[in-house]
């Protein structure tokens, strides 16, 4: 099954109006803020098929069908996911990388975009070092970025004028339409254009040939969104490039290793302190295209992730790519509350490099994470750990490595190697993590009502996500489905991504999770105060349930320690139990 970068899918969805799409197949009637009709996927007399113009999703409260524009085409036209993406891409005017055929006229357009981007990079850099631009230079000083480093990365500043760059580009012979095609201008509804980037620190994204592909732009204060980026253009596809590669490529080849971080400053600060083999993945999980790009220079990749749960889960989702691309990847996790930028500034480069030296292999990192998540002494826990580890081994092409990993897994789980090989054979040849977008829906277990209500509130009010993040982590949710939804919400928030339910759906292949998101997006309209009150009640209920569960687990462990006569373990468990009693 073909895979598409998240940025491409989101670009298509932003250009498609799901109400217009579905209305092309059958009429919709307005129902308050939403639209409704009799469901096309099952027979019914009373309309239960709802379409949200705000959230750009549909859901049938009769049969459970739901999703975004891609899923509607898949179900209504019996399309597979890649076909649905290609169909809507054509309708939206989005060129998919796999289908790109550049004519002579198209090549001329590409050349023009490179010229406009180069002009913009020089324009923004001149603005940054203009004597009047004290605010952005003070910001660079505050973040510890020297003028020399700023020039090396071609950093710049977009002023707060509505069309300053547009006028500059026109004075150099470029039309406003051409500037828009390069992603640097936006079209007004009433006609005319204006600059896409205003009053932001500019981070040019360059390829290995030092050609400017696009820009990232950061606010200088606490306003949101923190970052906005160039849209995809004929020269810029987000999942195919790496920030800082033009500066690091020679050192990477020489040292035969690369360090990959997530953000612009996470790359720039360690580089300035002497780590010249560092690049950034532009705020997304590393893609196979990016790994293949790095393979031109080295097969030794070190990934550095933030120490919070979102960072570690992001690392887990990247691991299979390294196995499939046959590179030697190691994972380093920073202490909680740190990112590479803050860690290097506070503890120095030598301490950061010590963390890299202690980085774990892909196999060890996943196994360690799973053993924290599941009880490796419990039969069910062993089964869950094995079911998560074996698909990765199935993709490992080196039989010697497979044999060694099976041996380690056998020792860790106290399960015979022969049993693990039996389970490995059951996986067959299919890629276990490929999204099954066309799979039929199966009956799912009921969702915890309190957790479901909280998810509904978070989908209805984006402002609640950050509030709830301060009180709950995904592990606090007893249902894996709600916990996973909340985890992705937190990640999208942390990455400064615009949160939309129709984009959130793309992170999940399971039908029951997609159905839960769609159904939860149609919460009856109430005041924000009421939503906040109910959300607080839900948070308290979930925390109480989690506390009760932890007390019961400790109670069982205390009994086990008493039976075994392990006084040291018993003392530690009793201390933890009493701490929980005080909290409760």
Query: Residues 310, 314, 316, 318: what is their CA dihedral angle, to the nearest 10 degrees?
Result: 180
Residue 106: the pLDDT is 62
Separation between Cα atoms, residue 193 and residue 186, nearest integer Å: 5
Domain closes at, from 210, 233, 256 = 233
Q: Is residue 140, in this structure, part of any structural domain at all?
A: yes
163 pLDDT above the threshold of 90: yes
Position with higher pLDDT, 546 vs 267: 267
**What is the DSSP secondary structure assignment for residue 331, as one 8-state letter?**
E
Tell me if 48 is assigned to some domain: yes
- Do both 118 and 217 map to the same domain? yes
pLDDT of 499 reads: 67
Domain that holds residue 330: 245-367
- Tell me if the pTM is above 0.85: no
Whether 100 shows a pLDDT value over 60: the answer reads no
Are the C-beta atoms of residues 264 and 204 closer than 8 Å to each other?
A: no
What is the pLDDT at residue 307?
A: 65
325 shares a domain with 249: yes
Q: 3-class secondary structure for 440-506? A: CCCCCCCCCHHHHHHHHHHHHCCHHHHHHHCCCCHHHCCCHHHHHHHHHHHHHHHCCCCCCHHHHHH
pLDDT of residue 483: 87
Does a structural domain hold residue 441? Answer: no
> Of 452, 463, 454, 557, nearest to 512 (Cα)?
452
Residues 562 and 477 in one domain: yes
What CATH number does residue 317 fall under? 3.40.1360.10
pLDDT beyond 70 at 283: no
Percent of the chain surpassing pLDDT 90:
39
Instruction: Say yes or no to pLDDT of 155 above 90.
Output: yes
Residue 212: φ, ψ to 5°: -80, 120
Q: Is residue 239 part of a domain?
A: no
Most confident of 173-187, 427-441, 461-475, 509-523: 173-187
CA-closest candidate to residue 270, choices 187, 338, 180, 185 = 338
Same domain for 476 and 573, yes or no, is yes
Q: Are residues 115 and 84 in the same domain?
A: no
* Residues 532 and 584 occupy one common structural domain: yes
Q: Which of 233, 263, 296 is the last residue of a domain?
A: 233
Specify the pLDDT at position 171. 96
| Average pLDDT score over the chain | 85
Non-local (6+) Cβ contacts of 209 within 8 A are: 246
For residues 561 and 533, membership in a common domain is answered with yes
pLDDT of amino acid 216: 95
Q: How confident is the model at residue 520 (pLDDT cuts 50, 70, 90)?
A: confident
**pLDDT per residue as tens digits for the range 12-54:** 888 888 998 999 888 999 888 889 999 988 888 899 999 988 8
Specify the pLDDT at position 429: 46
Give the CATH number of the domain where residue 525 resides: 1.10.860.10
Any idea of the CA torsion for 102, 108, 112, 118, to the nearest 10 degrees? 70
Q: What percent of the chain has pLDDT over 70?
A: 89
Residue 52 in domain: yes
Residue ending a domain, choose from 99, 127, 149? 99
Residue 360 and residue 388 in one domain: no
- Distance in angstroms (rounded) separating the CA atoms of residues 272 and 280: 14
Confidence of residue 134 (pLDDT cuts 50, 70, 90): very high
Same domain, residue pair 362 and 378: no
104 within a domain of the structure (yes/no): no
Give the other-Cβ count within 10 Å of 432's Cβ: 14
The whole-number average pLDDT for the span 477-486 is: 87
**Distance from the first to the final alpha carbon of the chain:** 49
Domain count for the chain, please give it: 5
pLDDT of residue 315: 64
Same domain for 79 and 177, yes or no, is: no
348 with 383, same domain: the answer is: no
CB-based contacts of 69, cutoff 8 Å, min separation 6:
12, 13, 16, 18, 21, 56, 88, 502
Q: What is the pLDDT of residue 102?
A: 47
Across 175-179, 196-200, 333-337, least confident range? 333-337
Domain-located, residue 439: no
Q: Cα separation of 551 and 547, whole Å?
A: 6
Give residue 439's pLDDT.
Answer: 37
CATH of residue 87's domain is 3.90.580.10
pLDDT in tens, 429-456: 433 333 333 333 445 578 888 988 888 8
Same domain as 93, residue 61 = yes
């Amino acid at each position: 099954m073909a895979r598409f970068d998240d940025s491409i899918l989101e670009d298509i969805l932003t250009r498609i109006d799901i109400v217009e799409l579905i209305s092309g197949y059958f009429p919709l009637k307005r129902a308050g803020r939403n639209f409704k009709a009799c469901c096309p996927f099952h027979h019914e007399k009373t309309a239960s098929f709802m379409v949200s113009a705000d959230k750009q999703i549909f859901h049938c409260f009769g049969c459970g069908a739901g999703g975004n524009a891609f899923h509607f085409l898949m179900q209504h036209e019996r399309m597979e996911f890649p076909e649905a993406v290609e169909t809507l891409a054509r309708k939206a005017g989005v060129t998919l990388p796999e289908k790109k055929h550049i004519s002579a006229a198209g090549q001329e357009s590409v050349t023009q975009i490179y010229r406009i981007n180069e002009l913009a990079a020089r324009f923004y850099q001149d603005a940054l070092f203009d004597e009047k631009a004290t605010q952005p230079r003070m910001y660079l000083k505050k973040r510890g970025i020297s003028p020399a480093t700023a020039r090396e990365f071609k950093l710049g500043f977009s002023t707060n004028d509505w069309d300053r760059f547009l006028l500059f580009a026109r004075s150099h012979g470029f039309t406003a339409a051409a500037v828009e095609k390069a992603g640097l201008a936006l079209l007004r509804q009433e006609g005319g254009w204006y600059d896409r980037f205003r009053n932001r620190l500019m981070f040019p994204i360059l390829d290995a040939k030092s050609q400017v592909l696009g820009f990232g732009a950061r606010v200088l204060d606490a306003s949101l969104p923190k970052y906005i980026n160039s849209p995809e253009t004929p020269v810029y596809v987000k999942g195919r490039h790496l920030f800082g590669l033009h500066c690091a490529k020679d050192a990477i080849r020489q040292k035969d290793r690369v360090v990959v971080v997530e953000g612009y400053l996470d790359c720039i600060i360690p580089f300035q302190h002497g780590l010249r083999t560092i690049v950034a993945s532009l705020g997304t999980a590393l893609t196979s295209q990016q790994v293949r790009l790095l393979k031109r220079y080295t097969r030794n990749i070190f990934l550095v992730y933030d120490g919070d749960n979102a960072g570690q889960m992001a690392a887990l989702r990247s691991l299979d790519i390294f196995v499939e691309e046959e590179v030697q990847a190691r994972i380093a996790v920073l202490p909680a509350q740190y990112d590479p930028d803050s860690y290097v500034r506070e503890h120095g480069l030598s301490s950061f490099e010590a963390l890299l030296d202690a980085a774990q292999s892909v196999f060890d990192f996943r196994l360690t994470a799973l053993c924290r998540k599941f009880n490796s002494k419990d039969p069910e826990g062993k089964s869950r750990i094995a079911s998560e580890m074996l698909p990765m081994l199935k993709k490992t092409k080196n039989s010697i490595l497979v044999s060694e990993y099976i041996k380690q897994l056998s020792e860790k789980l106290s399960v015979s190697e022969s049993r693990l090989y039996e389970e490995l054979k059951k996986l067959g040849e299919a890629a276990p993590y490929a999204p099954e977008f066309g799979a039929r829906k199966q009956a799912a277990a009921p969702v915890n009502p309190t957790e479901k209500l909280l998810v509904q509130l978070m989908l209805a009010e984006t402002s609640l996500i950050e509030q709830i993040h301060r009180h709950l982590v995904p592990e606090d949710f007893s249902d894996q489905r709600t916990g996973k939804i909340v985890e992705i919400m937190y990640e999208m928030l942390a990455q400064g991504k615009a949160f939309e339910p129709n984009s959130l759906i793309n992170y999940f292949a399971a039908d029951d999770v997609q159905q839960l998101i769609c159904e939860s997006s149609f919460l009856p309209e109430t005041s924000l105060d009421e939503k906040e009150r109910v959300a607080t009640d839900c948070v308290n209920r979930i925390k109480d349930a989690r506390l009760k569960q932890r007390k019961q687990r400790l109670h069982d462990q205390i009994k086990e320690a008493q039976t075994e006569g392990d006084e040291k373990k018993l003392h530690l468990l009793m201390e933890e139990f009493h701490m929980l009693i005080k909290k409760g």
